[in-house]
Amino acid sequence: MPDNSKSAIVQGIGRVKIQKFIKEKTYFTADVSKVSEKAVKKSVEIDTKITNLTEIFNQLIDLAPYLSEEQATTLSSIADPGKIADRAVSFLNINIGDKQNILEIIDVSTRIDSTIKLISKEIQRIELGQKIQSDVQDEISKSQREYYLREQLKAIQKELGDEDVGLEFQELAEKIKKAKMPKKVDKIANKELNRMKKIPSHSPEYTVSRTYLDWLIDLPWNDESNDNNDISNAQNILDEDHYGLVKVKDRILEHLAVRNLKKIRSKKNDILKSPILCFGGPPGTGKTSIGKSIAKAMGRKFVRISLGGVRDEAEIRGHRRTYIGALPGRIIASLKKAKTKNPIFMLDEIDKLGMDFRGDPSSALLEVLDPEQNFSFNDHYLEVDFDLSNIMFITTANQIDRIPGPLLDRMEVLDFTGYIIEEKVEISKKHLIPKQIKEHGLKKSEIKFSENGIKLLIDSYTREAGVRNLERQIANVCRKVAKDISAGSIKKSTISPLKVSEYLGPIIFHSEIAERCKKPGIAIGLAWTAFGGDILFIEASKMPGKGALKLTGKLGDVMKESAEAAFSYIRTNYKKLSLDKNFYKDIDLHIHVPAGAIPKDGPSAGITMITAMLSVLKNKKIKNNLGMTGEISLRGNVLPIGGLKEKATAAHRAGIKHIIAPFQNKKDLEEIPDRVLKDLKITFVKDVEEVIKLSL
């Protein structure tokens, strides 16, 4: 060759079969026998196969880069069918074993068929390789295109000052993963994140999506505080923080005990539904503060929202995200602050919920406070279900009858009655006085309240069921002492009754019972108010006239009807009552209930009014220290009333020693505190005749 290398062309002449190999020093020799091939007769079948072989070989030339047109020409110049097959296989870039297989086929027709199959297989291999190559190339091109576009986007964002957006998306994705949301919520969060990526960062819609994701991420989907199940510890905390309220404390301890048993004895997924407790009673009786103590005793977070004056349903359920400035409701917002899914949740002043054109919040609360459906509370803003069943809801109300019926039906009411004097004294000593001493910068050695001083504060400077005003008056005394100590006029002070009068001025509330009841026609009634029980004076007087009945004192329709029914009973039963037949013809009766600016109404003043009327008509005084409550019928039956517990407590507070009440209210004795019953005689009556015998 031109480059001095050597080249040899070797061509096979015919097939041989090796009989025996003989090894020489540098190469093999062998004994062989010639294999004779049968001469192939020309036929249509062979011609067709050769044509087919030639065509398929031409197809291979178009695909295989190692073949050329010259080889096709070489193939077409060969006349022997067997040699065409041999030459075609020799051109192929295939496995030596496959070539050897063709070489060993003696029958020409079979050899041509095998050659066609081999070439077809090679064509398929090459086509598949090209397809794979093409797909890989497309993928690379796509990746390169995406990379290029991303680089362009980064450059654009950098110019616009949005280079941190990509990092923000990455952080959000990590936060969504860490939030451990339920599967459905996680899917929605990721969908919103992908949607957010397509929104320009300067668009208002971007901010809406971002705020929504932040809310989903920050909610405590799986975070909950572990309950402290120590019953004795809970008892100690409740007793330490609150004096009295025995029934309320017992109910809380029962709940803890049931929860403990269920936790120990039930299956994993069997969760105790928390009760919905409603604390009903006058202001200042400790409804809100005991909620904090319950949270402390159970080891849970405490959350409180006030519902007083709430008129918009969206305050509870949230706003739709279509509105500008939309936010979740106060339930979800409070849970976000609490950072646990099982806090003690107090809904204050539930009886003061309003309603207007923006919806009915009390209806929205039905889902929140129903243990059968609050496991899937759906806030309008979030539009995903949140489980509220682990929360212990506590509601407070001053007037239970103002709570809508369906809402009240879902709650267990615990009554907070007013405190009696002895309880207020203990509450003052244990809680109010130490708190006010600390808040006014005083030391315990500088101020000391005597028991009689505390009692004077309670009796003569406050008149309430709770202890809120009492705390204010204690604070008032502490301020006076702090002022005197700062001025240097005293070093310490003992708050005796004399000092109370000196610091607080003249007595505000006088006990009028002894004074008023000296004359005929004055009866003491017992009333129920939203602020606890109270006593009510009912005065009757007669004057010359024509049998008219005059009523004053801003009375409601029910009390007016009670007075008319009482007057009708007296006129009907004049003989039984030892009155003249025409006793009313020359006189007018005037019924007055003092404190005329205060509206008064309710079905419990009947026996008090009839007693006052008979007292003035017969000119007989009513027995001292006697209070009464009960409605009457025209037949003289004494009808049952409500709120006997509150009325009895108010009577005890006012110094009344004897109460007359309807016979059907005897069942309510259990609710009246033992301390009240100890100092109070309660007589239950069935008709007016018994009332008259007891009172006049």
Pairing of strands 377-378, 385-386: antiparallel
Q: Report yes or no on 45 lying in a domain.
A: yes
149 and 180 inside one domain:
no
Task: Specify the CATH number for the domain of residue 311.
Answer: 3.40.50.300
Q: Which of these three, 398, 415, 432, is where a domain ends?
A: 415
The CATH number for 629's domain is: 3.30.230.10
Are residues 359 and 243 part of one domain? yes
Regarding whether 603 and 490 lie in a shared domain, the answer is no
- Look at residue 414 and give its three-state secondary structure: strand
Q: Tell me, yes or no, whether 13 lies in a domain.
A: no
Confirm whether 465 is domain-assigned.
no
The verdict on residue 24 lying in a domain is no
For residues 172 and 153, membership in a common domain is answered with no
Give the domain CATH number at 51.
Answer: 1.20.58.1480
Domain identity same for 436 and 378: no
Asked whether residue 4 is domain-assigned, the answer is no
| Closest of 575, 606, 619 to residue 691, by C-alpha | 606
Residue with tokens 């178009």: 62
Residue 515 is predicted with a pLDDT of 55
Among 160, 189, 208, identify where a domain stops: 160
Distances from the Cα of 263 to the Cαs of 254, 257, 271, 383, 569, in angstroms? Answer: 14, 10, 8, 32, 62
Catalogue the E-assigned strands of 266-329: 277-280, 302-306
- Bridge partners (DSSP) of residue 287 are none
Domain boundary among 160, 189, 209: 160
**CA pair distance 545, 280, nearest whole angstrom:** 47
Same domain? For 341 and 435 the reply is no
Claim to verify: residue 45 and residue 137 sit in the same structural domain:
yes
Query: How far apart (Å, rounded) are the C-alpha atoms in residues 140 and 149?
Result: 14
Residues 382 and 351 in one domain: yes
State which residues form the domain around 497: 421-455+470-504
Interatomic CA distance for residues 310 and 354, integer angstroms: 6
Per-residue model confidence (pLDDT) at position 170: 80
Task: Indicate whether 275 and 386 sit together in one domain.
Answer: yes
Q: What is the pTM of this model?
A: 0.66
Q: Which residues are known to be catalytic?
A: 604, 647
Please tell me whether residues 536 and 562 are part of one structural domain.
yes
At residue 175, the pLDDT reads 86
Looking at the structure of the chain, the number of domains it has is 5
| Whether residue 264 is found in the same domain as residue 137 | no
In this predicted structure, what is the pLDDT of residue 607? 92
Residues of the chain with pLDDT below 70 are 154, 157-158, 160-166, 267-272, 511-517, 530-531, 596-597
Residue 224 lies in a domain: no
Q: Is residue 6 part of a domain?
A: no
CATH number assigned to the domain comprising residue 434: 1.10.8.60
DSSP 116-183: HHHHHHHHHHHHHHHHHHHHHHHHHHHHHHHHHHHHHHHHHHHHHT-TTHHHHHHHHHHHHHHTT--H
Could you tell me if 539 and 657 lie in one domain?
Answer: yes
In a domain, 177, yes or no: yes
